[in-house]
């Protein structure tokens, strides 16, 4: 993206010119932003960054029975979700396979589900099919005025940069604050620092942009994806729908599954996998020396070259010529790859090397 107008258009928002100015103009301090969309390295992310989150859609659910309706559809507790919390949640097929994963929060009137923009229409339509007589209504919330622009911020300098805009920041991961300048979500930490999503109007983002850009490295949505990957947070995309039960992508470790709530599609299989499971698979963090590696791509153990041992869940450019990725694999292959260089490859058993990196949380050795 070459300028602020294009960035706003990608967010589904109309460009907002300065008051009294023609629609075709924006202040020189805002446009053009020539390096928006560039990849950043991990050290740049660690220091502090602001990224355009342009690949995410947002479903809003309103109505007296919105919470109870979603509670019966998703893997996590929605009925007890309060206005200070942010949660992960999954949406499964009757066979317990994830169709979508959400970042979920609410305000006084609306529950929000954030997911990849590419799969939002189909998921929103599917959820709508099951509303039936419930007093709940779904809409594309990315078109709402307060959600026109979504920025991701993280690294050592992000908190100080945001403090100039928000008098109070969310204190812990998976919490939020709402103020006149918008909604600020604190999501999972990465690189030892807090990460935030800021949802706001185009006008507010335009006014705040110069001070953020002055203090933080600027990047596109792949930088936010890279930070999510290093936080160990998986996201179901079109390439991986119906591939995983929640535990395969560590969802219960991240608080995305509530085993005490009532029924939802696939609940019996998800519960059985937790207590009687024999899948023996988990998701871990790797670096792949192949810039073309993508979600849905397969991994192979050199010791067993004839069948894949895993699949890429999410991948993003790491700024060093390859990608960093979350990969779902057999526990045995994770152990083998972690202890022997070159033991796991991408694409084929002769493909690009897969280097195993440290996860930000412990992989509970659940017998899946």
**Residue with more model confidence, 251 or 280:** 251
- Residue 245's Cα: distance from chain center in Å? 17
Report H helices in the chain. Answer: 4-10, 42-47, 66-71, 120-129, 158-163, 202-215, 221-230, 267-276, 331-339
pLDDT surpasses 70 at 7: no
Which neighbouring-strand residues pair with 288? 323, 354
Residue (of 258, 264, 208, 201) closest to 87 by Cα position: 258
Q: Length of the chain, please? A: 368
Rounded Cα distance, 247 and 280, in Å: 10
Predicted local distance difference test score (pLDDT) of residue 277: 63
CATH of domain 278-368: 2.40.30.110
Predicted local distance difference test score (pLDDT) of residue 22: 38
- Residue 259's Cα: distance from chain center in Å? 22
pLDDT surpasses 90 at 196: yes
How much is the pTM? 0.90
36-277, which class in CATH?
alpha beta
Q: How confident is the model at residue 11 (pLDDT cuts 50, 70, 90)?
A: very low
pLDDT surpasses 80 at 232: yes
| Residue 173 DSSP label | S
* Domain boundaries defined on the chain: 36-277, 278-368
Mean pLDDT for all residues in the chain: 89
Residue (of 78, 76, 81, 80) closest to 100 by Cα position: 76
Predicted local distance difference test score (pLDDT) of residue 66: 97
Predicted local distance difference test score (pLDDT) of residue 233: 98
pLDDT surpasses 60 at 99: yes
Q: How confident is the model at residue 39 (pLDDT cuts 50, 70, 90)?
A: confident
Which neighbouring-strand residues pair with 325? 286, 315
Q: How confident is the model at residue 340 (pLDDT cuts 50, 70, 90)?
A: confident
Q: What is the mean pLDDT of residues 41-52?
A: 94
Q: How confident is the model at residue 36 (pLDDT cuts 50, 70, 90)?
A: low
Phi and psi of 193, rounded to 5°?
-135, 160
């Amino acid at each position: 993206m070459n300028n602020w107008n294009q960035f706003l258009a990608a967010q589904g928002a109309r460009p907002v010119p300065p008051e009294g100015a023609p629609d075709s103009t924006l202040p020189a301090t805002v446009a053009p932003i020539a390096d928006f969309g560039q990849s950043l390295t991990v050290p740049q992310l660690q220091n502090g960054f602001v990224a355009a989150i342009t690949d995410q859609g947002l479903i809003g659910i309103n109505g007296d029975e919105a919470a109870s309706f979603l509670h019966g559809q998703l893997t996590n507790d929605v009925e007890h979700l309060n206005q200070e919390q942010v949660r992960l949640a999954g949406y499964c097929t009757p066979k317990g396979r994830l169709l979508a994963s959400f970042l979920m929060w609410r305000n006084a009137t609306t529950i929000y589900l954030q997911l990849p923009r590419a799969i939002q229409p189909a998921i929103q339509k599917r959820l709508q099919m099951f509303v039936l007589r419930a007093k709940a209504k779904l809409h594309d919330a990315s078109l709402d005025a307060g959600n026109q622009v979504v920025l991701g911020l993280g690294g050592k300098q992000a908190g100080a940069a945001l403090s100039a805009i928000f008098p109070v920041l969310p204190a812990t991961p998976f919490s939020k604050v709402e103020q006149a300048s918008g909604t600020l979500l604190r999501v999972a930490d990465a690189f030892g620092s807090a990460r935030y999503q800021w949802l706001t109007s185009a006008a507010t983002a335009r006014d705040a942009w110069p001070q953020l850009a002055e203090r933080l490295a600027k990047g596109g949505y792949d930088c936010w994806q890279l930070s999510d990957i290093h936080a160990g947070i998986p996201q179901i995309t079109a390439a991986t729908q119906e591939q995983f039960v929640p535990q395969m992508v560590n969802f219960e470790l991240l608080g995305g599954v509530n085993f005490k709530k009532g029924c939802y599609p696939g609940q019996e299989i998800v519960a059985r996998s937790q207590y009687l499971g024999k899948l023996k698979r988990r998701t871990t963090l790797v670096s792949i020396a192949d810039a073309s590696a993508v979600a849905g791509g397969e991994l192979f153990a050199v010791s067993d070259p004839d069948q894949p041992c895993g699949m890429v869940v999410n991948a993003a450019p790491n700024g060093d010529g390859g990608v960093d990725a979350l990969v779902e694999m057999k526990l045995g292959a994770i152990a083998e790859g972690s202890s022997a260089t070159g033991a796991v490859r991408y694409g084929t058993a002769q493909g690009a090397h897969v280097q195993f990196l440290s996860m930000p949380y412990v992989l509970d050795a659940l017998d899946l």
